[in-house]
Amino acid sequence: MNEINYNNIDTNDFLLKIKNAFKNELDEISYRNFIEPIRIINIYNRVATLGSTEFVKQGWDNSTYYIDFIKHSWEITGGFIQAEIEIIPDIPVPKINLGNSSQSSLPPNNDGLLRNIKLNPKYVFDTWVSSSTNMIQKAMAIRVSENLGDDQFNPFFIYGTSGVGKTHLMQAIGNQAIQNNPNITIKYITAEDFANAYSKALNINTFSKDNSALDAFKNEIRNIDLLLIDDIQFIEDKTGFQEEFFNTFNAIRDHGGQIVITSDKQAAELKGLPERLSSRFQDGYSSWVDKPDEQTRIVILQNKAKEKEIIIPDDAIFKIAASIDTNVRELESVFNNVAAYALINQEITVELVENVLKKLKKNVSKIITISDIQKSVADYNDITMSDIISSKRDKNIVLPRQIAMYLSRKLTNSSLPQIGKAFGGKDHTTVMHGIKKIEEQFKKDSDLKRTVDIIEKSLIKD
């Protein structure tokens, strides 16, 4: 086989073939969001420099697109070409076409209002790796999938920080429910999708001067067996959408349907919600998903390597698992970048992993832990770490403890239960009370605000 001159490849033809290869593999929404907008800048030394937006780059960083690109490049050229994405600000951010935008009529089945996002077939219970703190969450999710509409678990409210697997667990419920009963009706959407579709229905009504669009929207969303709604925090402080979702929520539960919700914070922490909606969210079962411990991270990486049929030595996997302790999404992003080297027959070593980590984290800010915060607050107030995590009610200890809780919530990805555990096993409601106390005092005590700012700046600079 003749050696390929990578620098003389017809870039436009190459990109067209790459896009077609992705189009044959991906669903329409993923293709239009993350593949269609890319441009090709050049190909040099087996690296294709692609131009696109920050949105698209994030999509690639959190997926297997880099690996898939190498595979497709081999199929097209007979050689391996890696992809790098440069952000080009003037490329329009991709927008999902919700269908016929005519203001006088609706498309068949109202597809133009609520886009139908397909469940990811890989998001099943078998591929959701449970850590010691998340075993009960998986068990409860399985129970929900087998007993849709059970009042004890309706709604099933999944919360946790970004990237810990909430969407995976939610979609696993949907995939299992379909397997149990292929005839059930399921709708998986984001809270933003819900709000956009509702707004579109209202706008169509305004121009058509009838309620057909709004009635069609309500009929579609309220008459399903299982509603999976992601990122409910989007409707914080959005009064109109809250009212419509409240009515949707009641309608689905009233006819025996099941609602599953994900959020980056627990229901009681969502701001700007009316009490009746907040209480609805807390009626069923709240499931807190924690970030994976190190052993779980190792298993996740081993499973990913097996899935991709890539050999990565244990010491390299251990290095990734020990270095990335934030969430599953970042863990998989590092894995994808390391795995790309395996596809071009480069040996995966601990040194290579360290280079990848250095490259990916060169602009990442310092990671601040709860322990760092507790020590800084204790030192500033001339008390001990033991005082901070104790149950002492002395005034000179209670206030610093509340400050430490406030900063732990602000500067870390820890949930309220995690913070409570770090403060001597306190209940999450105690943590929430302490945080609210500090926020309230800020409004009338400028000296306290300056003190907290000083401690925060010292933590960030250290």
CATH number at residue 332: 1.10.8
Final residue in a domain of this structure, among 308, 339, 360: 360
> Are residue 37 and residue 125 in the same domain, yes or no?
no
Residue 403 tokens, joined: 């400050």
Side chain identity at residue 162, one-letter code? S
> Are residue 254 and residue 378 in the same domain, yes or no?
no
How many Å apart are CA 319 and CA 351, to the nearest integer?
A: 10
Alpha helical stretches, state H, 102-134: none
In tens, the pLDDT along 305-348 reads 888 888 888 888 888 888 887 778 888 888 888 888 777 767 88
Below-70 pLDDT ranges, the chain: 1-7, 89-117, 132, 204-210, 345, 361-367, 413, 461-462
> Are residue 445 and residue 301 in the same domain, yes or no?
no
Name the 3-class secondary structure at 187.
strand
> Are residue 136 and residue 242 in the same domain, yes or no?
yes
Final residue in a domain of this structure, among 260, 288, 316: 288
> Are residue 235 and residue 316 in the same domain, yes or no?
no
How many Å apart are CA 406 and CA 396, to the nearest integer?
A: 16
Domain count, the chain: 4
> Are residue 150 and residue 281 in the same domain, yes or no?
yes
Q: What is the pLDDT of residue 108?
A: 31
Domain of 12, CATH number, reads: 3.30.300.180
Instruction: Report whether 94 contacts 110 (CB < 8 A).
Output: no
How many Å apart are CA 374 and CA 84, to the nearest integer?
A: 41
Tell me, yes or no, whether 343 lies in a domain. yes
Tell me, yes or no, whether 58 lies in a domain. yes
Structural domain span for residue 299: 294-360
Distant-in-sequence, close-in-space partners of 205: CB < 8 Å, separation ≥ 6? 211, 212, 213, 214
Tell me, yes or no, whether 99 lies in a domain. no
> Are residue 143 and residue 67 in the same domain, yes or no?
no
> Are residue 141 and residue 203 in the same domain, yes or no?
yes
Domain of 450, CATH number, reads: 1.10.1750.10
Tell me, yes or no, whether 93 lies in a domain. no
Tell me, yes or no, whether 436 lies in a domain. yes
> Are residue 158 and residue 277 in the same domain, yes or no?
yes
> Are residue 283 and residue 298 in the same domain, yes or no?
no
Tell me, yes or no, whether 346 lies in a domain. yes
Final residue in a domain of this structure, among 324, 339, 360: 360
Give the C-alpha distances (Å, rounded to integers) separating 387 from 25, 242, 341, 384: 57, 42, 49, 5
Could you report how far apart the first and last alpha carbons of the chain are, in Å? 56
> Are residue 129 and residue 238 in the same domain, yes or no?
yes
How many Å apart are CA 328 and CA 10, to the nearest integer?
A: 38
Tell me, yes or no, whether 298 lies in a domain. yes
Give the C-alpha distances (Å, rounded to integers) separating 330 from 128, 218, 223, 263, 343: 16, 37, 37, 19, 20
> Are residue 256 and residue 328 in the same domain, yes or no?
no
How many Å apart are CA 424 and CA 175, to the nearest integer?
A: 39
How many Å apart are CA 139 and CA 136, to the nearest integer?
A: 5
The DSSP bridge pattern shows strands 39-44 and 47-52 to be antiparallel
Tell me, yes or no, whether 62 lies in a domain. yes
Helix axes 314-323, 350-360, angle to 10 degrees: 30
